[in-house]
Structure 1
Amino acid sequence: MREARGAAARRRRVAGALLVLSLVAAATGCQQSAGTGNTGTGRTAAPAPTRSPGYGTVFLGVDECSSFGRESFTEVPCTSEKAAARVLARHEGRVGGGQSCPAASDFVLHISEQKPAADEDGDGAVPQGYACMRNLEDPHPGDPGGGGGPRTVVGDCVYSAGRGEVRETSCAGGGATAPEFKVTRAVARRADCPASTALYVQLGGAKPVGCARPV
């Protein structure tokens, strides 16, 4: 068993060293339109993230934590003083075509697919995926009215970004752009929105229409 665990740890170190992360949907990065879903601005994290032995089989699995760096993210124990964010959900594939992150997510880490020529266990591949992250401490841009996060939820505020698009901004103000509308309700159809609705925002999920009023 000890030898098997050692081999597994070596495999995880190799896989972790190959993962390239990019930060998207930060506090001011969300983008919505009345007919399209969220997209976000991002930056590539380099050098590649690293991890220590003793973690699970999935890099940044659910309930694991990462540090923050100016150019990189590293998986660390959640009890470490370097821990900054926790994984709420972990999915394979691309964000656009995959499962939605939990509403409480503050940002998303994208993990690029890698196919090394050789590694210690010989599987030769690291699948593409993404981790839905929540900061361990304030601020939480993914909270209602927080001004960011990978999803727009009831309680969020937005402003017009032109071309039929809106972007999230803090409901409390103080950001680069003042809020213009607030999402007050999520419904299945536009017809279910109250008469005071001035803007429809796509939310996704079982109730994909957000009813927004001026603020």
Structure 2
Amino acid sequence: MRERRAAGVRRMPAAPTSQALLYALLGAVLCGLLCGVLMTGCRGPGGRGPAAKSAAGSAAGDRATGYGAVFLAVDECSSFGTVGFTEVPCGGQRAAARVVAREDGRASSGPPCPATTDFVLHISERRPSADEDGDGTVPRGYACMRKLRPPHPGDPGGGGGPRTIVGDCVHDVGGGRVRETACDGGGERTPQFEVVEAVAVRADCPASTGLYVRLGGELPVGCARPL
């Protein structure tokens, strides 16, 4: 009679031999070496892989959206001096002044700068040191600048700035003309009058007024008293 196997009983597979284990180990080592070679081949020169390229592209994008997108736009900064100026990062060591207003055309015929402007940069159509689109030219215009650090000649009594405002002092230069000078006497000329009020017409000046100064703007008459 034939021998029958008990139901539900399965034979266990034979244990692997030492030779099979050795082959498996060698295969794993070769696979690791091959993967390392492939990964190295995906990197560019200097070990710059896809992640490094992505980071470099992001940095370039950040630079493109920083200073220089528009030449000397409002809140951007210029280097020292009013001749041969360049646009520079406001946090850099070369930054001297910030743009508080930017207008097209000539300053003589355009809107006046803010009252406490320290100086004006006149931007011509000639080739500047930097421009917004790299074509070597920028539209004619002017930028009203405020220095990043004191002293501020555009402040009341500071003795400078493109506009004469209330609180400024002037001295007579002859021919019915006056020129601004520092109220504290620190300028080249001694102050003779101080602008104490701005009005629409001369008749609105106080009785103590000794000189009328042209200010411009909505209240174009400056009432100056003798010092």
TM-score (normalised: structure 2) = 0.66
Report how far residue 122 of structure 1 moved: 9.7
Query: Displacement of 1:104 after TM fit?
Result: 1.3
Displacement after TM superposition at 1:57 (Å):
3.4
Answer yes or no: is 1:99 the counterpart of 2:115: no
Give, in whole Å, the separation in 2 of the partners of 1:69 and 1:125. Answer: 20
- The equivalent residue for 1:48 is none
Q: Any stretches of 5+ residues in structure 2 without a counterpart?
A: 1-56, 128-132
Within 2, Cα distance between the matches of 1:165 and 1:207?
A: 19
**Shift of the alpha carbon at 1:188?**
0.5
The answer as to whether partners of 1:114 and 1:127 remain within 8 angstroms in 2 is no
Match of residue 156 from structure 1: 168
Higher relative contact order (CA 8 A, sep 6+): 1
Q: State the partner residue of 2:37.
A: none
**CA contact 1:106–1:140 (8 Å) conserved in 2:** yes
Give the deviation of 1:70 after TM superposition: 8.3
* Structure 1 unaligned blocks of 5 or more: 10-52, 116-120
Measured at CA, do residues 69 and 157 of structure 1 come closer, stay the same or move farther in structure 2, by a change above 3 Å?
Answer: closer
Matched position secondary structure for 2:96 = strand
Show CA shifts across 1:99-153 (max 9, x none).
10001100000001238xxxxx797853110000011111100000000001000
Which structure would you say has the larger Rg? 2
CA RMSD, 1 decimal: 2.6
In 2: Cα distance, 1:194 partner to 1:63 partner? 39
The answer to whether the aligner puts 1:208 opposite 2:196 as a matched pair is no
1:82 is aligned to 2:88: no
CA–CA separation in structure 2 for the residues paired with 1:70 and 1:126: 17
The structure whose residues are more often strand, as a share, is: 1
Secondary structure of the residue aligned to 1:83 is coil
Does 2:206 match 1:194? Answer: yes
